[in-house]
Amino acid sequence: MTDNNRGPATGIALDAESLRAELQEAPEAHGLDPEQAAEIAALPDGQINSWIHELAARDDAFWALYDGLRRRTIAHLAEMHSTAKDVEP
């Protein structure tokens, strides 16, 4: 997620309003019955948005670690490959 809870690839905003719309349209897609979805939808905006921000921060941290690991792995493999090419068989 990025600023304003917009996904980097889609630009789609996630906030309490959009979460409620999702719950209303397809509660079963989240393993909820209509009553459970209604209970979640009744939570205050602040509580829903707080969890969105918390979970988005966790996702951001995960993807930063993933990206760093991917880059380090590629750099290491490139270095190994470069070194191997310089060695005479």
Range with the largest mean pLDDT of 43-47, 53-57, 79-83: 43-47
pLDDT at 84: 67
Among residues 46, 57, 54, 40, the alpha carbon closest in space to that of 2 is found at 57
> Cα 30–36–40 angle (5° rounding)?
85
**Residue whose token pair is 């600023």:** 3
Q: How far apart are CA 21 and CA 12, in angstroms?
A: 13
Is the pLDDT at 66 greater than 80, yes or no? Answer: yes
Please report the pLDDT score of residue 13 as a whole number: 79
Q: How far apart are CA 61 and CA 74, in angstroms?
A: 20
Over the stretch 2-40, which tens digit does the pLDDT of each residue have?
Answer: 455 545 555 667 899 999 999 999 999 999 999 999 999
Q: What is the mean pLDDT of the chain?
A: 86
- Percent of the chain whose pLDDT exceeds 90: 72
